[in-house]
Structure 1
């Protein structure tokens, strides 16, 4: 197994890069930033007792990312895998059937794969959706589910605020509302990986009810997976460890 980790730039933590004018194109987790994130865990147990089983482990291949640096960044492999896990948890809460949830989660694992950097990068959702349409066979073979039309639509719209949808995007959201809103919510929950708490998810902006366990669970997945990778685990090992330690067997 391989890891997509690259060492952070010496002397520059994510918190330092969060200062105005210093946003870097390639942003990776570091221990001081992760320690600060860990000290700000949301209240709650973080264990959804109603889950029938642990979510499927869906880890995107670093080779699917537009740039090698992006695969190791805060929008890279670990982020995609955590969003895939969180989407499965939210889908269970919405009574989405397992096969449909897995297809949505497999596409969600790839939702940032066409990012060119870790800044705003407008349009990366549409580029990822186009990539899924062209390379769905790779995702199906690796993650066990094809990118369905609703899953591809969710990826295409995930980076566009609801209020900024144009006419065709509004219609696409109307047709695939649950898929789009599930990915937006799962993606938002993983914002607790960001270095400033004011950038963490505002649940009032989400269009789905979020179970009380979700924010602390999302935080646990960030801290445990990022710490494991900083300690030398591969991407897949880090996510597996985080899921197994955060969720009931």
Structure 2
């Protein structure tokens, strides 16, 4: 079931009637835009061309509805952007940054719906492991084999509370905690796309420090990219427009 065009996601969420496949709509986006987080005291100089933007292929998702929905292509691409900015803030080297951003781009690609799907992280990790070579070629990223395994381990647990990790997942996490911590943070920051404020980013659940300027940036990234999508832009062009808008003010 998909959302009815005459009822906004925000109304459906308030009525506890969200469908399995959810698309952004203008009234919901207007509400998101009207409720930004507190403005940043300081924002570093950013250039759109310096920010890594990886846009996942629609064919990587479980279906067209998923690719176009709230956990689809635009979410993966924004999570990549936020992961890149977090990687820069935390001093990750180039190979780890490539692994993190690739994981961010595909972390939700095997979801079955936009509601609860607790196994989707593990499915996406298995899918990435199987298709890593073609995914990395398509995205233009060079990630060594060992880091591919660490990226897959981060994907597998990105949606799980830390205390829900299995013994094997805890062992994998300990080998490269920064990839999981930063992926969780990037995914969290894109929650401004969701139609109720109680689902928005809760930074107290993270294990890393998020720069104070990044939540307002993440909110703006949602607003500008989703507005461009509603106006007819493709995913890549919508994200490029948003990044240009946010980095040239």
Do they superpose with TM above 0.5? yes
TM-score (norm 1): 0.92
- Structure 2: tracts of 5 or more residues without a match: none
Other structure's SS at 2:75 match: helix
How much does 1:19 deviate?
3.3
Unaligned 5+ runs, structure 1: 1-6
Determine the C-alpha separation between the residues in 1 that align with 2:243 and 2:3.
25
Give the Cα separation in 2 of the matches to 1:47 and 1:230.
30
Match of 2:19 among 15, 19, 24: 24
Write out aligned runs for 1:149-164 (5 A).
Answer: 149-164=149-164
Structure number with higher helix proportion: 2
Greater mean alpha carbon deviation, residues 19-28 or residues 54-63: 19-28
- The answer to whether structure 1 residue 142 and structure 2 residue 138 are counterparts is yes
Distance 1:46 1:78, change over 3 A: farther
Matches within 5 A, 1:88-107: 88-107=84-103
Give aligned pairs, total.
243
Q: Which 4+ runs in 1 deviate beyond 6 A? A: none
The answer on whether the counterparts of 1:48 and 1:247 sit within 8 Å (CA) in structure 2 is no
Q: How many Å separate the matches in 1 of 2:227 and 2:198? A: 22
Paired with 2:43 and 2:117, the residues of 1 have a C-alpha distance of 34
* Mapped contact 1:49–1:248 kept (Cα < 8 A): no
The match for 2:195 is 195
Are the equivalent residues in 2 in contact too, given 1:47–1:248 (CA < 8 A)? no
Q: How does 1:70-109 map to 2 (within 5 A)?
A: 70-109=66-105
Structure 1 residue 44, shift from structure 2 partner: 2.0
Tell me the TM-score normalized by structure 2. Answer: 0.92
2:11 matches 1:10: no
Distance in 1 (CA, whole Å) between partners of 2:248 and 2:135 is: 27
User: What's the offset of the Cα at 1:45?
Assistant: 3.9
- Give distance in 2, aligned partners of 1:43 and 1:210: 14
Give the root-mean-square deviation of aligned CA atoms.
Answer: 1.9
**What's the CA shift string for 1:190-219, capped at 9, x where partnerless?**
001101111101111111000001100000
